[in-house]
Amino acid sequence: MAKNKILVADDESRMRKLVRDFLVKEDYEVIEASDGEETLARFYEHTDLSLIILDVMMPMYNGFEVLKEIRQTSSVPVIMLTAKSTEDDELQGFSLGVDEYITKPFSPKILVARVDAVIRRSGQAKEAKQIVDVGGIHIDSNAHMVLVDGEEVMLSVKEFELLNYFVENPGIALSREKILNAVWDYDYFGDARTIDTHVKKLRSKLGSKGEYIKTIWGLGYKFEVEE
C-alpha cells in the first residue's frame, strides 16, 4: 500500500528535519521545500500529496501567497505553521482555505496527531460513496467534488465538510458550537468565529446558492433551499 505523501515547507532546515523525522517514524513519505517558490514547484511536481505543512514566514513567497495559488487548483489539506498566532493571521488563513493552525514552538507528537486527524478526515470524505443533488448543488463525496449549476467549485476540506453538514441537516437551526463540534475535532482550540469565516467563504464560492445558508442571529446558521 502506498504511503501518504506529505510536503513540509519551512525555511528552517532544523525544523524540517524535526518534522520529517517524526513523520517518517509514523510511516509517512516526506517531501521538503525551503521557500515559497520551491514549495509551489514541489506541489506541481507531486500531484498525489495527502497533506501540506506550510510555514507562514518563508522567502520568495510567504505561506499565504503559496496557499492562495494552491487553492486555485487543489483542495489538498493544509496545516499552517506560524511563529506568532494572531487573530487576523488565522482569519486570513482560514479565508484562504487552511485546515489547521499550529503555533511554534509545538510538540512534534501533537503535530503528528493533527496530521493523522486531518488525513483521516480527508480520507473519510474520499471513501464516502455518496452523491447528493440539492437546489442546483451537486456533491460527490467519493470524488470530493462540488458542482454548482454544472460548474465545478473548488472547496477546501473544511469547506467541503461544512457544506456536507449543512446539506445533511436541512431546515435545522444549527448553533455555532454544534457546527464546531460536528465539523472540527473536539480538541480544536479555535472559537466560533472560525465558523463565520468559513461560512462567508463557502457562501462566496457557492455564488447565488450561498443564499441557502441562512444566518440565525445570536445562534448560528440554517441551510434552507428555496423552492
Q: Which domains does the chain have, with CATH numbers?
A: 5-125 (3.40.50.2300), 129-223 (1.10.10.10)
Of 174 and 87, which is predicted with more confidence? 174
d(CA 61, CA 181): 34
Of 85 and 121, which is predicted with more confidence? 121
Task: Mention every residue, 6+ apart, whose C-beta is less than 8 A from residue 39.
Answer: 7, 9, 33, 52, 54, 58, 61, 66
- The pLDDT score that the predictor gives to residue 117 is 83
- The pLDDT score that the predictor gives to residue 125 is 47
Q: Are 27 and 112 in contact (CB under 8 A)?
A: no
**Which DSSP state fits 173?**
-
Task: Mention every residue, 6+ apart, whose C-beta is less than 8 A from residue 77.
Answer: 50, 51, 52, 99, 100, 118, 119, 121, 122, 156, 157
Lowest mean pLDDT among 22-31, 96-105, 127-136: 127-136
HSE-up of residue 139 (Cα within 13 Å, Cβ side): 22
- In 3D, which of 24, 77, 32 has the Cα closest to residue 58? 32
d(CA 168, CA 142): 16
- The pLDDT score that the predictor gives to residue 39 is 94
- The pLDDT score that the predictor gives to residue 101 is 82
d(CA 151, CA 116): 32
**What one-letter code names the amino acid at 63?**
G
